[in-house]
Structure formats: C-alpha cells, structure tokens
C-alpha cells in the first residue's frame, strides 16, 4: 500500500524538504503532498530591500509550484488543525488528509495585534513593518515621499525572524536618506528590548562603532507597553517614551494559527522540537523545521537549510525504524547589510557566537564579521542561489550542515 | 574567567554572568543585585529569580512575555523591581545567561 508524506507549508523549509525527500523516497511506495495557503513563493530576504526600491516585486515572488519536484502534489488550502493522535490533518472546509509522516513547516507570522495600539487608524500610515509583502510595499511608498523627521526602527520582542534585519534596515535607511540628500533632516533611532544592538561580546567589540559612526541613536532594554497613536509615541513599561514621525516596527512573531488550533505550540505558538533531531517532542511521526520550531536557533532560511539536510536523513531513518541522528547544531550564517554598499557575514551555532575568520574555506574569499563590498555583492547574488540551488535542496559548495570549527577554538 | 562573589569563587563570562548556574547561591544573588544597583532582594525579587532559574533548568526560552504571563510578576512590576533593564539584570542575579540576539 502507498504511504503518505505530508508537508505543511510551501515556504523555504517545506520546499527544500519536498525536494530532498522526493529524490530519496521510492515513488511507487511513497506519495508526497505539500499544503500551503498561498501559491506564491516569497523570497523573504528581498523584503528588506523592497522598501528602498532596490528590488521590484517581480524579483522576489515566484509560483510555488515552479520549485516543487514532479511527483509532489501541491494543495493550495488553509490548514484547520493537525490531529497527530489520529495521524490526520484537517483542511478548512473539513477535508481530512491522513499521513504516515508529517513535516510541519508552517513558519511564523507577525502579530501586531499583540501590542496595544499598534493596529489602529495610523497602521500603515505612519506605523509600518517590512516583514510582509503588503507592509514592505506600503513602506516603500511612504519612504518615497518622506521629507524628513524622526524615523524609529523598533523590535517589539524576541524571537523575531531574521533577527538582524531590523538593524540592517536602519543601516540601509541611513544610506537611503544620505543618497537622497536629506540625512540632515532625518533622525534615526533603533529601539530594542535587548541590552543593545549587539549583544554578543565579539560582535559588540567589532561592530559597536557602526551605530555611532552613522549617527544612529540607540534605545535599549525597551519593552513596549503600547503604541500611543494619538501622540505618535512608543511607550515603555517603565514610562520611557520614544516619539516618532515614522515608526518601522517589527511586531511580535508567532507561529501559525493552525498550531494554536491544534494545541501543539507554546506561548508563542512555536512547536516544542528536539533541538538536535528535529522530531516533535510529543509525536514521533511528526517533524518540525524552520521558523515553526521552538529551537533556540535563529528563525532564518539559512537555519532551515542546514536543518533540512539533517531532517532528510532523519525522516529516512525514522521510516526504517533506525535511531535518529542527533546532528543539528543550530548552525546559521547570513549576510548582514551595513549600508554604503557593504555587508558583513556571520557564521555561528547554538554554542559558538559569531567570530572572525575566512569563509567558506580557510582562505576565504569572504571575511567573517567584517564589512566588505564583496559580502554585499554576495548578499545580492544570493537571490539567484536561493531560487536555483537552495530551494532545490542542493548542497552549497564548501558550506556544511554542521558549523566548521574556527581557528581559535581550543579543540 | 574566575571571580569571587560573596566569598565564593565562580566562573563568569566577560560581562559578569555566571556560566554555570549550579555555582549560584542566594548570597551571590544578593551581591550581584547590590552591584547592579537593584538593592536588597525582597520576596518579590526572589520569586522572579526562582522562576527564571526553574525555566532555565527546564530548557525553556526566557521571554518577557512568558514571565508576564506566568502569574509571578507583571511586566510593569518587573521594571519596578529591576530598574533599567529587567531581563538582563534579573538574569544576571539569577545566575543564568543574558538574553541575546544572534550578534
């Protein structure tokens, strides 16, 4: 009898898993289905650039089906709930999909409704976000005719997807206003609930000067109690206020609402996941990948990419009844835009903070934790790598799933 | 690195956070609290510290949200108890790692 592998989510993680596993599961024995509410695949790193006009929408949105292999059925549908005790998923409208193995790749979403006063008459008027296509588009239009004033870039609470993106946005905004010749009419402020823009010692030491150099004010340890839309101010629980003319906020991030409807998530609807195997802690036939997990790794496509390699092996082991590999180490790397046509590159995992060195090989050509033009070109070139290599589940040359030891590690 | 706090030698990182939560005791907490300008630890402080240590021991991510919803303390009270930076100060006093981003 044919067995069924069901993947919920056709984003970065779900698409990679479909490609990995269709190559490795015999077609006669296993059918595969991907379910997603949208049939458009969004290149999410592009959302950072869209507001500044660097990318057009057509460069960052493609049909989801173009990236799924033959032999995988795509269903455009909303998931109502998962019922792991019955090995079933219900779609909106009531249709039931039975599975033998379930991969949950439902990602995360912004939840502006979690902060008092964030949604209101001025949402998308002078309060914007860039983590959604709608939001990035509205912000692009707002920036296009922005003549000057107080621009506040805000992170509401951790964890957020691509945690450095708000800081990158701030750096890119500095360059954007400079290029437009109005930097002297704009004040830029970065507001974070953490203790600083950089919280890890090596990065703080190496990069701490960037904010001052660019004239960006930092407001740290700031947990927003509410957005006061009448007075255009962010208000902290301790009474501090940050006035703005344009607020670019990163709302609270939460898992998909289907996770909550299924009773499978934590406070933020992220699913408890084994941090090295990616198996559900409650249900052995369920695996979780990407932003949907509760892992203490970054919520980022890079993490999903490294997870996908371990998870593909583990799904096969699970099917054969073999012990799972406790392999995933939280590995993540990413380009960080630092403005002025330059970028940084960082590489880290659960245990080791971003450090200096060469990447991806001992001789480079890229430099870690250092600003360079080449890193920026790497970030722009990555869009093509994403569409043509990464989503297909192909390995990236010189970059392994587990983090390589840098030279200065003891053993 | 090693540091002697309240007469006990403990391992700390470059920012003074304990790297092994098992080396912690209440005298250490009191000494760090004084250093951080939090002052004498009341029962309300202690409840937060115990909650943070329990969560950390269970491997749960520490967030202002989970603390605010825990029934132990509201976010506003947290700022009153640990003025200036409740997450970083309460974590330091509780002998657990500082909440960080990825860089």
Q: What is the mean pLDDT of chain B?
A: 90
Same domain (yes/no): A196, A174:
yes
Q: Is the pLDDT of residue B67 over 60?
A: yes
pLDDT string in tens for chain A (411-residue length): 899 999 999 999 999 999 999 999 999 999 999 999 999 999 999 999 999 999 999 999 999 999 999 999 999 999 999 999 999 999 999 999 999 999 999 999 999 999 999 999 999 999 999 999 999 999 999 999 999 999 999 999 999 999 999 999 999 999 999 999 999 999 999 999 999 998 888 888 888 899 999 999 999 999 999 999 999 999 999 999 999 999 999 999 999 999 999 999 998 999 999 999 999 999 999 999 999 999 989 999 999 999 999 999 999 999 999 999 999 999 999 999 999 999 999 999 988 889 999 998 888 888 999 999 999 999 999 999 999 999 999 888 888 899 887 765 543
Residue B73 carries which DSSP code?
-
Return the CATH number at A175: 3.50.50.60
Same domain (yes/no): A291, A176:
no
Same domain (yes/no): A104, A116:
no
Q: What is the value of pTM for the model shown?
A: 0.94
- Looking at the complex, report in whole angstroms how far the Cα of residue B68 sits from the nearest Cα belonging to chain A: 11
Same domain (yes/no): A123, A207:
yes
Cα–Cα dist A151/A190, whole Å: 9
pLDDT computed for residue A408 by the predictor: 59
Q: What angle do CA A175, A154, A247 make, to 5 degrees?
A: 75
Interface check for B8 against chain A (CB to CB < 8 A): the answer is no
B102–A296 CB contact, under 8 Å:
no
| Residue range of the domain that includes A177 | 112-253
Same domain (yes/no): A132, A182:
yes
Same domain (yes/no): A24, A98:
yes
pLDDT computed for residue A351 by the predictor: 87
Same domain (yes/no): A12, A93:
yes
For A160, the closest chain B residue by CA position comes to: B101
Same domain (yes/no): A204, A241:
yes
Same domain (yes/no): A163, A218:
yes
Instruction: Answer for the pair A195, A152: CB distance below 8 angstroms, yes or no.
Output: no
Tell me what ipTM this predicted complex has: 0.89
Nearest to B98 among A157, A158, A195 (CB): A195
pLDDT (mean) for B18-24: 95
Nearest to A194 among B13, B15, B99 (CB): B99
Catalytic residue among B1, B61, B102, B103: B102
Cα–Cα dist A182/A174, whole Å: 10
Residues of B in contact with A267 (CB under 8 A): 63, 65-66, 69
Q: Which of A227, A253, A279 is the last residue of a domain?
A: A253
Strand A72-76 to strand A30-36: parallel, antiparallel, or no bridges (unpaired)?
parallel
The counts of H helices and E strands in chain A are 9, 24
Kindly state whether residue A302 falls inside one of the protein's structural domains: yes
Same domain (yes/no): A247, A306:
no
For B13, the closest chain A residue by CA position comes to: A201
Kindly write down the DSSP assignment for every residue of A149-208, as one continuous string. EEEEEEE-SS--BSTTHHHHHHHHHHHHHHHTT-GGGEEEEEE-SSSSS--SHHHHHHHT
Q: Is the pLDDT of residue B61 over 90?
A: no
B75–A203 CB contact, under 8 Å:
no
- pLDDT band at B26; cut points 50, 70, 90: very high
Same domain (yes/no): A45, A148:
no
Same domain (yes/no): A122, A244:
yes
Active site residue B102: yes
Pick the closest to residue A53 from A167, A175, A148, A163 (CA basis). Answer: A175
Q: Which of A253, A276, A301 is the last residue of a domain?
A: A253
Interface check for B61 against chain A (CB to CB < 8 A): the answer is yes
Q: Which of A204, A220, A253 is the last residue of a domain?
A: A253
pLDDT computed for residue A411 by the predictor: 38
Kindly state whether residue A66 falls inside one of the protein's structural domains: yes
Interface check for B98 against chain A (CB to CB < 8 A): the answer is yes
Q: How many domains does chain A have?
A: 3
Kindly state whether residue A399 falls inside one of the protein's structural domains: no
pLDDT computed for residue B102 by the predictor: 77
């Amino acid at each position: 009898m044919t067995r069924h592998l069901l993947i919920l989510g056709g984003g970065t993680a779900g698409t990679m898993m479909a490609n990995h596993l269709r190559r490795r599961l015999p077609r006669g024995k296993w059918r595969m289905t991907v379910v997603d509410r949208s049939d458009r695949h969004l290149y999410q790193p592009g959302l950072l650039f869209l507001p500044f006009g660097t990318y057009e929408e057509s460069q960052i949105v493609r049909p989801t089906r173009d990236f799924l292999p033959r032999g995988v059925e795509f269903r455009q549908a909303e998931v109502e709930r998962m019922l792991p005790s019955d090995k079933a998923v219900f779609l909106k409208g009531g249709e039931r999909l039975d599975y033998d193995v379930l991969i949950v790749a439902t990602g995360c979403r912004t939840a502006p409704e979690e902060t008092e006063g964030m949604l209101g008459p001025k949402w998308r008027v002078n309060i914007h976000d860039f983590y959604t296509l709608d939001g990035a588009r509205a912000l692009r239009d707002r920036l296009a005719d922005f003549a000057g004033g107080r621009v506040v870039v805000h992170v509401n609470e951790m964890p957020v997807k691509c945690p450095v993106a708000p800081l990158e946005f701030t750096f890119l905004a500095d360059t954007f206003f400079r290029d437009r010749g109005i930097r002297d009419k704009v004040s830029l402020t970065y507001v974070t609930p953490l203790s600083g823009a950089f919280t890890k010692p090596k990065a703080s030491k190496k990069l701490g000067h960037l904010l001052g150099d660019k004239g960006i004010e930092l407001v740290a340890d700031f947990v927003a109690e509410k957005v006061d839309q009448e007075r255009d101010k962010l208000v902290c629980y301790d009474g501090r206020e940050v006035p703005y003319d344009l607020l670019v906020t990163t709302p609270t991030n939460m898992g998909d609402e289907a996770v909550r409807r299924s009773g499978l998530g934590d406070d933020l609807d992220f699913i408890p996941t084994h941090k090295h195997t990616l198996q559900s802690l409650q249900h052995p036939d369920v695996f979780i990948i990407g932003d949907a997990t509760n892992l203490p790794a970054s919520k980022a496509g890079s993490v999903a990419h490294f997870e996908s390699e371990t998870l593909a092996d583990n799904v096969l082991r699970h099917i054969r009844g073999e012990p799972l590999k406790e392999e995933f180490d939280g590995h993540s790397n990413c380009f960080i835009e630092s403005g002025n046509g330059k970028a940084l590159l960082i590489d880290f995992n659960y245990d080791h903070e971003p450090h200096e060195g060469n990447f991806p090989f001992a001789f480079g050509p890229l430099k870690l934790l250092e600003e360079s033009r080449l890193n920026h070109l790497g970030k722009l070139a990555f869009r093509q790598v994403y569409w043509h290599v990464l989503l297909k589940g192909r390995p990236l040359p010189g970059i392994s799933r587990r983090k390589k030891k840098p030279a200065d590690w003891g053993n | 690195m090693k540091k002697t706090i309240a007469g006990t030698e403990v391992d700390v990182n470059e920012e003074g956070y304990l790297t092994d939560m098992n080396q912690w005791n209440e005298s250490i907490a009191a000494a760090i609290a004084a250093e951080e300008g939090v002052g004498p630890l009341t029962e309300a402080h202690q409840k937060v510290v115990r909650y943070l240590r329990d969560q950390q021991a269970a491997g749960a991510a520490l967030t202002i949200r989970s603390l605010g919803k825990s029934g132990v303390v509201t976010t506003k009270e947290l700022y009153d108890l640990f003025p200036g930076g409740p997450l970083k100060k309460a974590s330091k006093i509780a002998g657990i790692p500082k909440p960080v981003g990825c860089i």
